[in-house]
Structure 1
Amino acid sequence: MTLSVTNEDMLRAIDYNNIDFVMHFRHYNGDKGYYYSKNLKYISIRDYHRIVQTNFSNENDIVDLINQLRMSNKLWSWIVGPTSKPYNLCQILEQNHFKKQAELTGMYLDLNNLGTDSATDFQVKKVCVNDDIDDWFDIFIQGFGITAKHSERIKTLRYIYTELINEENQLFHMYLGIYKNKPSVCCSTFAKNGNVGIYDLATIPDMRRKRLASSMINSILNQFRSDGNRFAVATATDSGELLFTKLGFTPVGKFPLYKISQGIVR
């Protein structure tokens, strides 16, 4: 029996996958910087500081939280999904030292409708060893055009990701797409509750328009479908939305991403 789902169902599923993905970083054995409760979920490890969910009914509680963040002297980001409250959270953030950096699109794909696109001379490899991690981050940096000023953030992600892929009972995986023996595409996944989240999808500039990213996603999701997962989910940038749309993903809503913009208290 096939159960029907609504766009609202999938929007919430996307939000929960994103929350669980970011909060999974708390299993990193370095800094113990996280908070996980019914009302507030955030990660603060080295220079990675992100709030992923709030559940406050009172606007003053959010303002008090923002003031605490400003006092921390950290550059916080805050993603606003449909499960966060209060419902005017975006307005409160914009009135209190946060600036919208991006508006990501929540998208999903029923894995029963998975495509078959496959490039020639192309293979997908799960990242397991340090040499693969080096290649993965080289692609990630080139694909997203990350500059030297973000080098500390990359170091932080590398420390966290390296530890997470060595966990038992993994929920998190990293993948390389190799075209003609050259690592060219990367992504990561987080699978939970039958939903596979696609994250960090990037292609090095001189390997774009060769169907490599779509070939890798189809290959990975085919395996997850075989393992019993039903949906793939993603929060996509504007350029990512075009790719995911070609893969058959359906957009269902927006996820504004904010960064603290001023008034960091010293």
Structure 2
Amino acid sequence: MEKNTNRITDNINNLTRLWKTVGAPFQSYHKNNTFEYCKIENSGWPNKLWFSEDVNLNSAKTAIEFLESNPTLVIPYWDIYGTNSNEIFETKGLVKKTEQVAMALKLDKPFELQNTLEFKRIWKDEDAKIWSDLYPNAFGYVISKEILIHNYNEVQFHLVTYQNQPIGTFMLFQTENNIGIHGVGVIPEMRRKGFAEEIMKYALNLALDLNAEYALLQASVMGKGIYTKLGFEDLFIIKNYILKNE
């Protein structure tokens, strides 16, 4: 149980440190006594407001008041406390936008690749633009190219191509002996060809090369089956809340 508790903490830590890291160059990360948030102009990500402990009536009220003047922010609720405190958000008028499953995989062996895809880490601004233009086709929201340009060293942004056509993205972010795999996406017309699984295998091999002990991620409903097949285990549910009128 203790090991699982560590993985839960590691997963939240990797995710929130990624948000803080990408927000730092824009002075977009802020922390007060109740919550932390990162809001980057002209970008649909991270734009999150989060708590470091279980939510209560007072902290929820403070956060929702802040949300009313910052309506593009999303509140991720880590369902790890066993208190159903997320119901406070629902009684106060927030709605659940999406749900994810936080997962972890112990890295012990490389995966065999099909070698049908080509992978390129982003270091140049013209490639950052290609990545940024592609990303919303897979996810429906924008990560501005400026985020990539200001974080080349801190975050690994990778572009995936098939027969010279850009088709997918992913990010790697290392915290201690963990690697978070984020933003794994394939454009709709290239789905159901096994590419997402191939991207994941490549990303996991990179994580292994970086001497990571665990790979961490937060899976959408659409992606979860692939991760389970690769050996990832469920840790907890993340419920993402927004203002009702958004």
Residue 55 and residue 212 in structure 1: after superposition, are their counterparts in 2 closer, same or farther (change >3 A)? same
Contact 1:11 1:82 in 2 (8 A): no
Residue 224 and residue 73 in structure 1: after superposition, are their counterparts in 2 closer, same or farther (change >3 A)? closer
In structure 1, give the amino acid aligned to 2:63: L
Q: Which of 125, 131, 138 does residue 130 from structure 1 map onto? A: 125
Contact 1:79 1:256 in 2 (8 A): yes
Aligned partner of 2:182 in structure 1 is 199
Secondary structure at 1:80 match in 2: strand
Q: TM-score, normalised by structure 1?
A: 0.80
Q: Which of 3, 27, 43 does residue 6 from structure 1 map onto? A: 3
Secondary structure at 1:112 match in 2: coil
Aligned partner of 2:89 in structure 1 is 93
Aligned partner of 2:217 in structure 1 is 234
Q: Which of 149, 154, 161 does residue 171 from structure 1 map onto? A: 154
* Number of aligned residues: 243
Residue 185 and residue 88 in structure 1: after superposition, are their counterparts in 2 closer, same or farther (change >3 A)? same
In structure 2, give the amino acid aligned to 1:227: L
Q: Which of 141, 144, 163 does residue 157 from structure 1 map onto? A: 144
Task: Indicate whether 1:15 and 2:20 are aligned.
Answer: no
Q: TM-score, normalised by structure 2?
A: 0.86
Residue 5 and residue 229 in structure 1: after superposition, are their counterparts in 2 closer, same or farther (change >3 A)? farther
Question: 1:86, 1:37 → 2: CA distance?
Answer: 25
User: For residues 197-255 of structure 1, what are the alpha-carbon distances to aligned partners after superposition, in whole Å with 9 as ceiling and x for unaligned?
Assistant: 11111112232233322222222322321222111111111011112122221122201
Residue 37 and residue 230 in structure 1: after superposition, are their counterparts in 2 closer, same or farther (change >3 A)? farther
Structure 1 residue ranges without an equivalent (≥5)? none
Structure 2 residue ranges without an equivalent (≥5)? none
User: For residues 56-103 of structure 1, what are the alpha-carbon distances to aligned partners after superposition, in whole Å with 9 as ceiling and x for unaligned?
Assistant: 675223213322332x253321001257x8944311111112100111
Residue 60 and residue 177 in structure 1: after superposition, are their counterparts in 2 closer, same or farther (change >3 A)? same
Question: 1:233, 1:126 → 2: CA distance?
Answer: 20
Secondary structure at 1:119 match in 2: coil
Contact 1:40 1:55 in 2 (8 A): no
Question: 2:110, 2:77 → 1: CA distance?
Answer: 29
Residue 5 and residue 143 in structure 1: after superposition, are their counterparts in 2 closer, same or farther (change >3 A)? same
Query: How far 1:130 sits from its partner (Å)?
Result: 2.4
Query: How far 1:175 sits from its partner (Å)?
Result: 0.5
Aligned partner of 1:106 in structure 2 is 102
Q: Which of 222, 238, 245 does residue 205 from structure 2 map onto? A: 222
Question: 1:130, 1:190 → 2: CA distance?
Answer: 20
Contact 2:170 2:184 in 1 (8 A): yes
Residue 259 and residue 57 in structure 1: after superposition, are their counterparts in 2 closer, same or farther (change >3 A)? closer
User: For residues 135-164 of structure 1, what are the alpha-carbon distances to aligned partners after superposition, in whole Å with 9 as ceiling and x for unaligned?
Assistant: 2233322223x2xxx5xxx2x633222211
Question: 1:98, 1:255 → 2: CA distance?
Answer: 15
Question: 1:214, 1:261 → 2: CA distance?
Answer: 35
Question: 2:55, 2:125 → 1: CA distance?
Answer: 45
Question: 2:133, 2:52 → 1: CA distance?
Answer: 34
